[in-house]
Amino acid sequence: MASFNSWLFTYPQDLIKTKIQLSPDGAFQRSKWFNDEGFMTCARDIWKKNGIQGFVRGLKPCLIRSILGDGIGIIIYEKCQELLSHVKK
């Protein structure tokens, strides 16, 4: 659940970051008030084009991946702990 909640609340910021990274230099203007590398301009652009849907596009697969991936990771970690705890030194 921790991974699920983490992605649920940070996905919009990650989406904006990725869009900035994939865009050509100068596609998004920096804010005149603080050095944001175009974060606010990009967010505004997404909002104008797609509204709230623009910030959650692709969220479902990400949440499913987080649950499955982290769940499997925890199971593997626990099994390794169990196996290694029986090894005598």
Could you report the per-residue pLDDT of 10-50, keeping only the tens digit for each? 999 999 989 888 888 777 777 666 667 788 888 999 999 99
How many domains are there within the chain? Answer: 1
pTM: 0.68
Angstrom distance (rounded) from CA 66 to CA 63: 5
Please answer whether residues 20 and 3 qualify as being in contact, where contact means their C-beta atoms are separated by less than 8 angstroms.
no
Confidence at residue 37, expressed as pLDDT on a 0 to 100 scale: 74
**Domain of 9?**
2-85
Confidence at residue 86, expressed as pLDDT on a 0 to 100 scale: 78
Instruction: Give the residue from 66, 52, 48, 41 showing the smallest Cα distance to 12.
Output: 52
Per-residue pLDDT tens digits for 44-71: 999 999 999 999 999 999 999 988 988 8
